[in-house]
A and B are shown apart, each in its own frame.
Chain A
Amino acid sequence: MKKRILSIIVCIFLLLSLVACGGEGDFTPSQKPFDKDVKSSVPSTDEEIAKNDKYTLQYDSATGGIKIVENATGASWGTCPTPEGEQQFDAMGMPIRRHGFPQSVLEVGYMDKKISGGGNQITTTYDGISGGAGRMVYKPIENGVTIEYYFDLQEIMIPVNYVLCNDYVSISVDSTKIQENDLKVTYVSLAPFLSSIPNDSEDSYLFVPSGSGALLSGASYNDQGILYSAYVYGDDLTMEEQYISTEENAIRLPVYGYKKGSVGGFAIIDEGAETVLLKTTCGNTAYKFTTVYPSFQLRGYTTHLATSFNNTRDANIFPENMIEGEFSIRFYPLQGDNANYSGMANIYRDYLVSECGLTETKNDKAMSVSFIGGTQITKSFLGVPYKTLFATTTVEQANTMISEISESVDSLAVKFKGFGVCGVDNGSIGGGFKIGGNIGSASQLKKLVSTHAEKVDLYMDYELVKFASSGSGFKYFRDAVMNSGSIKSEQYIIDKALRNNDENLKYRLLRPIRFSDAVSKALDANSKLTLNGVSIESLSSLSYSDYSDINSTVDYNSKHGFDIAVSNALKQVKESNQKIMANNANAYAAVSADIIENAPIVSDRGYAFMDSVPFYAMVFKGYVPMTTEPINTAVTPQKAVLGAVEGGLGLNYTLISQWDNSLINAYYPYFNTTVYSNVKDDMLSTYGELADYYESINGAKITSNTVISSGVHCTTFDNGVTVYVNYNSDPAQTPAGEVAALDYIVTGGAA
């Protein structure tokens, strides 16, 4: 018997070993080896590539890039800006060589050694100045050209397509056609100076959609400049950053642009936006330009922290395979009245309408309220600690509060967050898809629904991304995403004082291939509760990679396809006739949402940022109802209200019914400022002041927003309503008169 058991164990080990050894050899990536023999072939002059009614696309022989020339005016936009100022000379009378980067058409990152070894990532550029960058091959295609850039030193070739369309130029790279040898490409930045402004130029700025949107200054700083970079749709959580020193307002929209006097440019990252790290360099005195550009991360990575002898070192672990697909941007030249961020918002809104099915609505919500059901607290029985759910808001209490609020508020949306078995803490997926015992029962919730469903939109929030235990058909081990180091990606709650990972509070992320199943469960649970609204807070605002399938080159490596996975899940919700509430939503979720709460009203507040602008609101107002960040949890509630007023967003409050000093241990940060009895009066009085304003802008679109002076903004709606907002602590003069400190004035329309 013993021998039999032993032999079975040995067989299992052998089998596992065989399985482990197999597989890798089955996959052949599409990329070809570097072609060392091809001859360079490019026009020696600025040749016309394509032409339509508006623009001519030209080859720029000086840099190897392209120029877009407006037929009517002759105004031009190029992948590389014209060097500013006269040629400077050194003490010996020799010309001082300009920095090569602004004259680069391409930036490429690659690894200096084996991918899995976690070596250094190196950047190279293809610029017209250094000359010896490598060969170029010019291949005309329909309405455009493919230029193959050969980095001979690194043995890497990047083919870039430039195609002239109606009113924009598409610049793209097909990663399957990239050539590489031993050095592996990690990212490709397309046209890094296409959207740039000369330093210190007047009436100029960069536009970056950080949070609500931000304008960046081009004031000269130093030879390093002020750097700002952020991943489109938020950080890749699977990268497992070891230390996140500050909270960041993520980039929610895949766009960027610039304004330089009466001209400008606007780019929409058309394909592969989810893989993009948007980079800016401001005030770099060596470049003499301030620029913003997208960097497509063709190989994502995971940060590994090696610790030995009280020393730590980060290393990035990259996957073997590059993601495959088309990565492209649309670049729109801007002129005159359109050459500003209002013009950019109009273009992007039109793009979403035509390409993503964004539709108009007249059902704006003047207020949304989130009730927090509960949180897990530690208690003890005879000294033996155990976790139990502390109900911060029971269903009955929520019922009462909704009754009170809806008496005063006409258009109200309500979200139930943390009403599952683990409250707002991470537990099983969807909070077990049932109401936590201490919070209430399904019958109580049904009663609430029957009482309020006619007047109030009700949404149950399901945590479909983060989970800390198995349950409801989702396994903690099997269904969690894997990082590029081939181990399950561990996420941590961040300690509130030192902001380090709390090792006791781990959780994992659901694999994108299971989103559909999770949404199905949520829909089932919702129908049992007779609710017709689903809130997908995490699903709409987070994004991450999954390297579970080491052979995959398409799905979820470097976040590739994450947006599609979420979009498909949301489609499922739509098909079941349920409404969707998104939270601070990324573009792909925002277009499907019936309401966006916690819409961003400020940017990331980087040092190079001049001012936050309500670009997000400008795009979606009149198309998706939105409410602002929770007023009562904001540091300065008045400023949050002003943010809502400026963007035409509804008010938003987070509420609980009861506070207990055991909540000081909670990891949800806002219990201290959300007690209903403390907030109610302010909430209703603020609504009372704004009710007429909301009525006047219901369904209206924003036609323009301007920064009158620092902290004083003006928004104009398409029905003629104009609002002047003063965020400063002193009164400000506006064309509509003096606006008091932290106040606003509404003019026009019915106001």
Chain B
Amino acid sequence: MKKALGRLFAVILAICLVASVTVVSAVPPTDTYTYWTNVGTQRKAVYGKAMYDVDKVIDVTKLGVERLTQITAMCKDNEENIYILDANSRIVVLDKDYNFVKEIGLISGTTSYRNAKGIYYNDGVIYICNTEGANIYMIDVDGNLIDTITLPESNLIPDDFLFKPIKITRDANGYMYVVSEGCYYGSLLYAPDRTFLGFYGSNTVNATIASVFTNISNRLFPNAEKHANQIKKLPFSLVDITIDNEGFVYTCNGFTDYSTASRNAQIRRLSPGSGTNILNSKVNFTDTKIIWIKNFSKQDLRDIEVDDNGFIYALESMFDKVFIYDDQCRILNVFGGGMGAGNQVGTFTNSCALVIKQNGDEILVADSDNNYITVFTINDYGKQVKELDYLTLNGEYDKVKEGWEDVLKQDANSQLAYSGLANAYLELEDYESALKYAKLGYDKDTYAVAFEYVRKDFISDNFTWLFVIIVVVVLGAIAFMFITNKKKIVLIKNKSLNLMLTTMIHPSNNFTDIKEKGLGSIGLSLLLLVLYYSVTVLKTIAGGFLFSNYDPTTFNSIIVLVRSAGLVVLWIVANWLVCTLLGGKGKLKEIIIVTCYSLLPLILEGILYIVLSNMLLPVEAGFLSIMTTISLIYGAMMLIIGMLKIHDFSMGKFLWTTLLSILGMAIIIFLLIMLIILVQQFGAFVITLITEISTI
């Protein structure tokens, strides 16, 4: 028995040595993660449960193909046979079970297609994007040439246009879209009869006021350097194109670096006619952080695929990762990795192509450095998440509750599950649970809907009481005002406090009293300043869930301090310096008092904002905006009146000194930054000194 086993083992091992398909362990050597949105200002990378396992690795060099140089692209046909394009003018064909079928070499009657970068199958025809040969060969599955597509003659095509086809796709009506390398006009669109219709789906460059002025200046005064800079601002060129089962065209521009422009909408879903992007144009389809590491400072989406349910699969070739999104651009999973050094199964050294099979249940990733194809297979968890997400996005909330609960048992970090559960409970009219899950998953849209119901129910349940309370409060306030006026009752005996509190009602009189009678209080002013800072902070951390993006890990109270109280102090100092020089009669103390008293409307607005943001819905946010604007205008008006009073300026001089004060603020900020840099450098010097001494 033992010997028989040994012999069997020997045979199997011998088979293993020559087999090209290897079953491997499923534990990934890199992190699997997802991104949470609506947490703070940036989406956040969060560990997630893997949805795909490595099933096998196919060594294409071991399939019996001689002199295979480098995989450049892959595609599949309707039977899910795989066509692998080799840079050495060859196509290797595998059947759906990854068994070698045949190879197609040089095509009779043509030149080689060495270094061709794209391959596509449609309706019995294989399209080879012969990038260096500037044409596209159409061949049948036996390798016979059917036709050749070349650059069309058209006035729409610039004279200096270089036709270097890298990708091609064809829609159900026979329209062909060809992506040419480096072309920033979009893809070339051919009618079914091969007539060139024009360019389709180009990216745009967002213009700013500054860029418009720069553009005009460059055109008026051109030079070589400006021309070079201009080229850098051209739209991103496309690197891949594909079509979904509804006829929408998906394009991908790979390059993503530090620039904001490159970090949004790298993948677009274009309507077939107009070419309008209907995906969220603010979504970053790569990692949030771009880092400078090992001389890699960008990310590069290279290949995209879309399945029948609208899930988008994107291969990022710099860090060698696969990103999966649903059709609402919500990220499901990120896996893969290696970044040029991946020598473990499931990682890559130079990932170059991606193909999905079985409607996304299998993902194939080719590595051009070692000519391996890694087959990732969806696991039970992945299947469940994709199915539930699809149902959720289609509004079939009644079918997803148990499923999402099960997903949460497996991965408590699934933001999609919280959102899905919130929607499911919403459907069940269990609004409290919907609120709970929406808040856990930072799903503000669902939270808003649930909150509206909860608020409506609360009001209808308690309308009588609320009405009575409001009437009593309003009547009470009127009665109180009437009585205090009639009997001349002074509730606040402290004159300074009284003056501060009534400044909003009588700014002119009160600021006159501050100047002439010295009734202002520095203590109260500082208290107002502290209150202003506190309210500004509280607006973020205690504001309503629907209106706040508070994230304690990234919230920086120092920045808020600088932006609120710091700005006020800066104004006070700059104004005092300027007005002292320009004959203003206001003293520093008076400037402080007037400026801080003018914060009263903002403080009140802040308190109201905190209360109302916990009661209002996003659709009612306009009310908050109006309130904020009014408070700003009111505060500015108080400040103007106060400044005029204490400095005894004419309006013209006031405007002039205000302008100079703002300039002074800028100079002070500049000097402060210099000082901070100096202190930082000194600190670094001290640390270095301590380090050196400690090593003795």
Contacts and interface: CB of A to CB of B under 8 A. Distances in A.
B76 to A, nearest CB: 21
Q: Tell me which of B13, B45, B61 has the highest count of chain A C-beta atoms within 10 A of its own C-beta.
A: B13
A679 B293 CA distance: 39
Contacts of A378: 552-553
Interface stretch (A244-252, A399-407, A460-468): A244-252
Contact of A245 (B2, B49, B338, B414): B338
Contacts of B410: 673, 678
Contact of A219 (B17, B339, B696): B17
Interface in B46-96: 46-50, 53, 55, 57, 61-62
Given A672-B49, A673-B49, A606 B344 contact: yes
Given A605-B345, A710-B12, A380 B27 contact: no
A664 B37 CA distance: 12
A605 B412 contact: no
A669 B31 contact: yes
A189 B288 CA distance: 44
A590 B684 CA distance: 44
Contact of A243 (B287, B293, B343): B293
B294 A242 contact: yes
A165 B53 CA distance: 48
Contacts of A10: none
Contact of B14 (A202, A611, A727): A202
B560 interface: yes
A228 interface: yes
A605 B696 contact: no
Given A708-B5, A728-B23, A497 B552 contact: no
Contacts of A675: 409, 412
Contact of B25 (A20, A605, A607): A605
Contacts of A228: 343
B36 interface: yes
A203 B534 contact: no
A724 to B, nearest CB: 11
Interface in A463-508: 477, 482, 486-488, 495-500
Interface stretch (A154-162, A382-390, A560-568): A382-390
Interface stretch (A61-69, A125-133, A291-299, A632-640): A632-640
Contact of B30 (A246, A639, A659, A735): A246
B44 A495 contact: no
B293 A500 contact: yes
A635 B337 contact: no
Contacts of B319: 498
B289 A498 contact: yes
A378 B40 CA distance: 13
B541 A245 contact: no
B4 interface: yes
B144 interface: no
A16 interface: yes
A496 B31 contact: yes
Contacts of A382: 534, 537-538, 541, 557
Contacts of A500: 291, 293
Contacts of B693: 16
Given A245-B338, A382-B534, A607 B343 contact: yes
B6 interface: yes
A112 interface: no
Contacts of B291: 498, 500
A499 B337 contact: yes
Interface residues of A, number: 87
A389 to B, nearest CB: 14
B411 interface: yes
B292 to A, nearest CB: 7
A487 B691 contact: yes
A486 B12 contact: no
B264 interface: no
Contacts of B347: 245-246
B27 A607 contact: no
B31 A497 contact: yes
B8 interface: yes
A105 interface: no
A82 interface: no
Interface in B340-359: 340-347
B394 to A, nearest CB: 26
Interface in B1-49: 1-2, 4-6, 8-10, 12-14, 16-19, 22-33, 36, 39, 44-49
A499 B552 contact: no
Q: Tell me which of B47, B288, B345, B552 has the highest count of chain A C-beta atoms within 10 A of its own C-beta.
A: B47
A672 to B, nearest CB: 4
Contacts of A337: 2, 6
A661 B417 CA distance: 13
Contacts of B53: 635-636
Contacts of B370: 607
B656 to A, nearest CB: 37
Given A243-B294, A500-B293, A610 B16 contact: yes
Contacts of A498: 287, 289, 291, 293, 319
B13 A497 contact: no
A488 B32 CA distance: 32
A748 to B, nearest CB: 11
A217 interface: yes
Nearest to B439: A661
B57 to A, nearest CB: 7
A166 interface: no
Interface in B425-469: 440-442
B68 to A, nearest CB: 11
A340 B411 CA distance: 41
A678 B412 contact: yes
A185 B411 CA distance: 51
A707 B61 CA distance: 25
Contact of A664 (B28, B32, B44, B695): B44
B379 interface: yes
A203 B557 contact: no
Contacts of B440: 661
A602 B25 contact: yes
A246 B29 contact: yes
Contact of B13 (A383, A495, A610, A634): A610
B27 A602 contact: yes
B29 A248 contact: yes
A647 B413 CA distance: 32
B229 interface: no
Interface in B599-647: none
Interface string A262-276: 000000000000000
B372 interface: yes
Given A488-B691, A496-B45, A635-B26, A672 B413 contact: yes
A742 to B, nearest CB: 10
B129 interface: no
B47 A246 contact: no
B106 interface: no
Q: Tell me which of B10, B372, B412 has the highest count of chain A C-beta atoms within 10 A of its own C-beta.
A: B412
A718 to B, nearest CB: 14
Contacts of A70: none
B31 to A, nearest CB: 5
B6 A380 contact: no
A498 B28 CA distance: 15
A237 to B, nearest CB: 18
5 contacts: A242-B294, A246-B344, A498-B319, A605-B344, A675-B409
Interface of A: 16, 19-20, 200, 202-205, 215, 217-219, 221-222, 226-228, 242-243, 245-248, 310-312, 337, 340, 377-380, 382-385, 477, 482, 486-488, 495-500, 602-607, 609-612, 634-636, 639, 659, 661-665, 669-673, 675, 678-679, 704, 706-711, 714, 727-729, 735
Given A496-B31, A497-B31, A708-B9, 17 more contacts: A243-B294, A245-B341, A312-B292, A382-B538, A496-B45, A498-B291, A500-B291, A607-B343, A607-B344, A611-B16, A635-B27, A635-B49, A635-B379, A672-B413, A706-B9, A708-B5, A727-B23
